Amino acid sequence: MAAAYVIVWSELHPMKSLRRVVVTTACTGVLAILVGCGGSPMQSGSGSVEPKGPATRANLSRDGILARLAGEARAITDRAKTEAASRETWEAVREQRRNELKDMLGFGVDRPKTPLNVRITGKIERSGYVVEKIAFESISKVYVTANLYLPTDRTGPVPAVVYVCGHAFSPHGAKTSYQRHGHTLARHGYAAMVIDPIQIAETVGLHHGVLNQEMYEWYTRAYSPAGLEVWNVIRGLDYLETRPEVDSNRFAITGRSGGAAMSWFAAAVEPRIQAVIPIMGIGTYAVSVSDNTQRMHCDCMYPVNFRMHDLIHLGALIAPRPLLTAHGREDPLFPVAGYEEFEAAMSSLYASYEVPDKFRNLVVESGHQDSDLLRSEAVKWLDRWVLDIEPRQIDTGFEEIDAADLAVFGGEPPTDARNFQMHEFFVPPSAASEWTGTSAWKRQRHELLEALRTKVLQTLPPSTGAPVTERGSMDTPDGFEALAFDFAGHVPVEILLRIPENADGPALLHIASPGEDPAAVQRLLRNLGRFGRNPVLVVHPPGTGTAVWPKSEWKMLLRNAMQTGRTVDSIRIGSVLAAAQLLRQKTGGRPVAVSGIGPAAGWAIYAAALDDSIEHVILIRPPVSHDGGPILLGASRYSDLPGFAALIAPRRITFYGGMPAEYTATKRIYEGTRSASKISESMSIAAALNGRFGHGFSIGM
């Protein structure tokens, strides 16, 4: 294996003098280290997260999910390492993985390009270079603001470097906080386009939809702001190709932190980029999930990972192009174990391409900080692989320009800007499912089921029979037995089971919703005995019933789950399917109906869509769209909730208390499939369960 040259250094200040430089040589490998995770020591990337707090049901299910996610993240990373083990193994899947990444970023293989409508609003002259203030439309009325630094003493077209900014706030755009990179690159013979990120620009855009702005539909649409950021880079390259000062055969990209992530993603999907320098922004999902680093990152740092890629795939998609990565050993955002594992994988892959010197990982003894050293090392890398010149001394000095002078729109951005709405139309939801004929519906039904099984809920474990139960810990209403089973190897699921003597009629699987306690369930089903002697199993998916997580913990689980191709709701749906198998086993194969209130009604729809043996679904105040749940990666790309409910046809659906208007489309599909009698409304769960769908009877007390 090739040797890795590591520069170890320490800073007095991120932009001040160098304290020491030590150059060492060592074989690459993954080091097992101890780092802090929310104050709890653990082995980084070990696949185990230390439990916190008392052993309550909520904490046990949370910790079980964390353990499962850590194991799945490790499996994803290991699969990526296997694929990228050599040139031969990687070339077999490269184009597939590139197209999948484009899909996860939200622009697919052939997104159309609209006119750029470029504006140059001013120029600032400096000795040896000029700074142009530029705006272009990456999509119609979506404005990208940037500063273009152009050397003026050039003798012909020069290479161009796109600098993608991290999260540094300025009312005039983050580009003003990263101008030092534009100055240094231009003074050393490069054109440099410093692009504002969408959240810190001169027009409003969002990076934090899931993190702190309650926009969970981002996940159901599989929208990540990383997709728009990468699209802005691609369109920036389109513009640079029109500039006579630029050699469009020599493009490079660099950036730090969030800009590093965009450098990875853009270079992975854009072959025009010839050299890549991400600074402080890489690792593996195995380490990221185990160390819970999501708590420090915004949504732009991740594609919605329904294809279950690892960050190792990004480096492999860049190979064998020149790739310089840099990390701070004290940087909590990107733990050492993660970038060392990435380094080992890339060193091996680049060696198999017979270009080991085109990959380098530089490690500095600092935190998440920029520095003169990192800037000069980036220019030296470009000198070697883009300009093809001998090493030279890099002068990092420059005259800073007032931030307001670098603003493109001077405080008056276009009033027609749609940047603030990009999450609504960059990845639009699918059209609602409608009845257009038998053959069309058969085709659509097949496609929807295929999407569910292979894309939206592909992470559900295969059916292996009914789970094994043990005694549960819940308080038990009269007539019920408290049991529990282990879902997917780690996640405890509590259930309440009641099988009457001389049981008769279908069995009911009731899904507890968050906050729904056993006493409330007992009251909901109090009239069951008036219509039959039905077996009942009440399943409490993780985080439901009285074992509800605080929102911060639920969101932590959700964001970690996304990195492994899952959501909390997909795990819950899996536990419902396991409970259905258990109920059939406990009742000798008796027909099963499933019911749920609110979000649990959404889980019931998906469970029944996937499990044909569920014969009846009873929906109580179901959500009417994915904006209200369930949160499933990419689901609304294929249909909305009423469309997925139509997959249950010709089995029975009952709306308790009334059918929401949005489910009229579901009813039309039932009518078209000659199943109109199987979709109905009822004022009694017990009556509907036992086949009474009229209103000519007394419910009782």
Shared domain for 570 and 616, answered yes or no, is yes
Question: Which of 390, 425, 460 marks a domain boundary?
Answer: 425
Domain count, the chain: 2
Is position 308 within any domain?
yes
pLDDT confidence of residue 111: 86
Longest dimension (CA), the chain: 94
Here the contacts of 24-30 (C-beta below 8 Å, separation 24 or greater) are 27/1, 27/3, 28/1, 28/2, 28/3, 28/4, 28/340, 28/343, 28/344, 28/347, 28/348, 29/340, 29/344, 30/337, 30/340, 30/341, 30/344
| Chain centre to alpha carbon of residue 697 | 50
* Beta-ladder partners of 516: none
**What CATH number is associated with residue 205?**
3.40.50.1820
Based on the number of CB atoms within 10 Å of its own CB, is 421 exposed (0-12), middle (13-18) or buried (19 or more)? middle
Closest of 303, 297, 299, 289 to residue 214, by C-alpha = 299
pLDDT of res. 14: 29
Instruction: Please say whether the beta carbons of 573 and 631 come within 8 A.
Output: no
Instruction: Find, among 246, 248, 254, the residue nearest to 275 by Cα.
Output: 254
pLDDT at 433: 86
Q: Tell me: do 370 and 454 sit in the same domain.
A: no
Asked if residue 470 and residue 394 are part of one domain, the reply reads: no
Going by the DSSP 8-state scheme, the letter that residue 313 receives in this structure is: H
In whole angstroms, what is the distance from residue 286 CA to residue 309 CA? 11
Query: Looking at residue 110, what is its pLDDT?
Result: 81
My answer on whether 387 and 454 are in the same domain is no
Range of the domain at 249: 72-425
Distance, CA of 275 to CA of 382 (rounded, Å): 7
Judgement on whether residues 389 and 460 belong to the same structural domain of the protein: no
Is residue 433 a contact partner of residue 665, using CB atoms and an 8 Å limit?
Answer: yes
CA–CA gap between residue 593 and residue 612 (Å, rounded):
11
- 530, 419: one domain: no
Q: What are the per-10-residue average pLDDT scores of the chain (701 residues)? A: 34 29 29 28 42 82 94 96 98 97 90 95 96 98 97 94 93 95 97 95 90 92 95 98 97 95 96 97 92 89 95 97 96 91 97 98 93 96 96 93 96 94 90 90 95 94 87 88 92 95 93 94 86 92 94 95 96 97 95 97 97 97 91 95 96 95 96 95 91 77 59
| Residue where a domain stops, chosen among 425, 458, 477 | 425
* Residue where a domain terminates, one of 396, 425, 454: 425
Dihedrals phi, psi of 69, to nearest 5 degrees = -65, -40
Q: Are residues 410 and 448 in the same domain?
A: no
User: Are both 478 and 388 inside the same structural domain?
Assistant: no
3-state secondary structure of 496: strand
Q: DSSP letter at 430?
A: P
Residue tagged 């120029």 (tokens): 123
How many angstroms separate the CA atoms of 71 and 48, rounded? 8
Pair (391, 511) in one structural domain: no
CB 657 within 8 A of CB 637: no
